[in-house]
Structure 1
Amino acid sequence: MNTNRLQTILSCMPSDNEIQQIQTEHRLKLAEFWGIEKGKRVLEIGCGQGDTTVVLAYLVGEDGLVHGVDIGSASYGAPITLGDSASYIMKSALGKQIKMEFEVDILSTEIDFPDHSFDYIVLSHCSWYFSSAVQLEKIFQKIRKWGKQLCFAEWDTRIQSLNQYPHLLSILIQAQYEAFKQQSEANVRTLFTPNDIQSLLESSGWKTIKEQSIVSPKLQDGEWEISYTLKEIDTMFENSIGMPEKLKLLIKSEINILKEFIQTNNREPLSIFAFVAE
């Protein structure tokens, strides 16, 4: 990893601690795989607090543009909100090539761009936030005319080592619970496997030109999801509406499996399924 490059990017983020450094290194790895080039225009859907946005802005340079949009409100997020993070980023050294907007529903009839407005459209670690496969498929369909290439990344459910199992089990537990909720602010609202994504791509008219399973073993997300699942399970059951008792018992059994496994095994985050499509 180029230290000077990493420090330049971190200086444009609200936090430059070890967590942010690891997250930024991962996003540089993704952007390099996607082949983001200088002077290009990028639409980033699900920009969140800008972890990927800043990396993309660095790579496109002063002559490029990164337009980040997110359906979340500016007040959403912790320990720093989306709005506060965006304000800091857009005042940074990379801010002149960044635009960030919130409460933007890509599927709204009010949202549109001229054909071929962007060289790349990026969806990075955001697909599980969508409410359904139907919603994601509609987004894939709508954005086709806006950009030349689709650059995508999400956790890869095809575990490559046993130590990744707790991360996978924790998101499966969350996804089962989320299937019974109408509204949510959870990290896992709809679980998509790589095969699911490829099927939605094909039906939307995109064609994958390259794909890769990327390993970033230092990422903290696996630990965060495991901790959240174990901490919040009682609240999940209290708030569940219409969940069959038999499914509750199944999830409790899965929680016990998760607890037993992490007592005697190491834990690693899932790998990341990434691709470029045209």
Structure 2
Amino acid sequence: MNNDILENVLSCMLLSDGASNIQRVQTEHRIKLAELWDIKAGSRVLEIGCGQGDTTAVLAYLVGDNGLVHGIDIASPDYGSPITLGDAISHLKQSKLGKQIDIRFEVDVLSPDVDFPDHYFDTIVLSHCSWYLKSFEELSRILEKVKRWGKSLCLAEWDTRIKTMEQFPHFLAVSIQAQYECFKESSFSNIRTLFTPEDLKELAVNAGWKIVKEQSINSTDLQDGGWEVDFTLSEYVSELNELPHAPEKLKAYIQSEVKLLKDASANCSSIQSLSTYTFIAE
């Protein structure tokens, strides 16, 4: 990895106290993805689900002064902690990368009001955002709608095919969370629909895309696995209490899964994040 890219991107990002090492690891991962996607200088990129701009900053650096990263996210700018999406993006837009970035919050890509000319973008990116979506149908409709806007599609998401037992707690935590979501009418959770790599490929192909390259990359150093385990263990009681319509047998099953998660976490030398599955489609 080119260390100059990493340092340049980090210098443009808003960091919370004590989070510099966390952001360094997160940004290294996004650089790895963007290099696999072969993002070119001068490219026009649409990033769906841009969030706080972890991937946006890397894309903006790579497209350069003559490129554009147009990011959209359905969340409000005051979402997020300890730094809100709005504060993170405002800081990024005021940096040296700001002139090639256009970010819009509270935008639903499926709204009839959201449209672009055919082939307006060189690349459409969905980076670690598909699990935030409500359903398979929603992702399917997004992939169908954006097909005519871009020449290529680059997607990255956690790879549910665990490769080591140290990744098992991360998988189990997100699986537990995904089960809650089946009974929610609205949600602000990180995991709302759990897609496997095969699911993602199938949805893309059915939407008219052709997968030209796919890869599973090591992302075990990312902190997300530990975060999801901690969140699941701290919130499962309140989550179950807020699901009055869930079958009691399912609640009992989830409680058994939580016991497995506690045991797996306690007996792991370290919790590792899942690998990341990514593909390029045209």
TM category, shorter: over 0.9
CA contact (8 A) 1:180 1:241 kept: no
Paired amino acid for 1:277: A
Question: 1:188 deviation in Å?
Answer: 0.4
Number of residue pairs aligned between Structure 1 and Structure 2: 278
1:17 and 2:23 correspond: no
1:225 and 2:228 correspond: yes
Aligned to 1:57: 60
Task: Trace 1:203-222 onto structure 2 (pairs within 5 A).
Answer: 203-222=206-225
Extract unaligned runs of 5+ from structure 1. none
Q: Which residue of 114, 119, 122 corresponds with 1:119?
A: 122
Task: Trace 1:11-160 onto structure 2 (pairs within 5 A).
Answer: 11-15=11-15, 17-160=20-163
Secondary structure of the corresponding residue to residue 148 of structure 2: coil
Paired amino acid for 1:274: T
**Cα deviation digits, residues 43-90 of structure 1 (max 9, x gap):** 000000000000000001111100011000111111111111111000
Aligned to 1:277: 281
Secondary structure of the corresponding residue to residue 137 of structure 2: helix
1: CA distance, partners of 2:253 / 2:265: 19
Q: Which residue of 166, 170, 177 corresponds with 1:167?
A: 170
Secondary structure of the corresponding residue to residue 211 of structure 1: strand
2: CA distance, partners of 1:236 / 1:36: 40
1: CA distance, partners of 2:152 / 2:2: 26
Paired amino acid for 2:157: E
Question: 1:136 deviation in Å?
Answer: 0.4
- Give the root-mean-square deviation of aligned CA atoms: 0.8
1:245 and 2:248 correspond: yes
Aligned to 2:7: 7
1:193 and 2:196 correspond: yes
Question: 1:216 deviation in Å?
Answer: 1.8
% of aligned pairs identical?
A: 56
Secondary structure of the corresponding residue to residue 101 of structure 1: strand
TM-score, normalization by structure 2: 0.97
Aligned to 1:268: 272
TM-score, normalization by structure 1: 0.99
CA contact (8 A) 1:24 1:52 kept: yes
